[in-house]
């Protein structure tokens, strides 16, 4: 996995995994009180850190994939609240800005699986 041609460093992977775990716990416990959104049903699938560790791209998927676009829009809108709660969980010099993105990897995997099934018939 590369970012702008450079390989991802161990530090980026380690910090990304730390943020992923902290967000997962935060969402399960519903500690970030977001209006009209239950975070208990949100799965954090991956966190990609920028090389300077100032931004985090967070791939999320709601349970069952229903209303994914709406959930991601709400998370984007209230990312400052999530970041504030996260700052109490993680000790870092600079807490990265959080950018939420819908994870399409499950749809892609299903598409590939269907293509494989078609060719084996």
Q: Name the more confident of 109 and 82.
A: 82
Rounded CA separation 95/23 (Å): 13
Given 3.30.300.20, 2.60.40.680, 3.30.110.30, 3.30.465.10, which CATH number is that of 2-120? 3.30.300.20
Could you report the per-residue pLDDT of 41-58, keeping only the tens digit for each? 888 999 999 999 999 999
Could you report the per-residue pLDDT of 70-97, keeping only the tens digit for each? 889 999 998 999 999 999 988 888 899 9
Rounded CA separation 61/108 (Å): 13
pTM of this prediction?
0.82
Alpha helices in 1-121 (DSSP H): 10-28, 68-77, 79-87, 105-120
Q: Name the more confident of 106 and 43.
A: 43
The Cα-based distances of 103 to 6, 10, 108 in angstroms read 23, 23, 10
Rounded CA separation 107/90 (Å): 32
pLDDT above 70: percentage of residues in the chain: 95
């Amino acid at each position: 996995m590369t970012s702008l041609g450079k390989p991802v460093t161990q530090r980026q992977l380690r910090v990304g995994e730390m943020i992923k775990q902290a967000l997962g716990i935060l969402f399960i416990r519903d500690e970030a009180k977001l209006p009209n959104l239950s975070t208990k049903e949100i799965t954090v699938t991956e966190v990609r850190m920028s090389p300077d560790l100032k931004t985090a791209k967070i791939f999320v998927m709601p349970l069952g994939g229903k209303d994914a676009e709406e959930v991601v829009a709400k998370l984007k809108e209230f990312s400052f609240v999530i970041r504030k709660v996260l700052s109490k969980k993680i000790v870092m010099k600079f807490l990265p800005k959080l950018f939420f993105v819908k994870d399409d990897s499950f749809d892609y995997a299903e598409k590939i699986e269907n293509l494989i099934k078609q060719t084996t018939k």
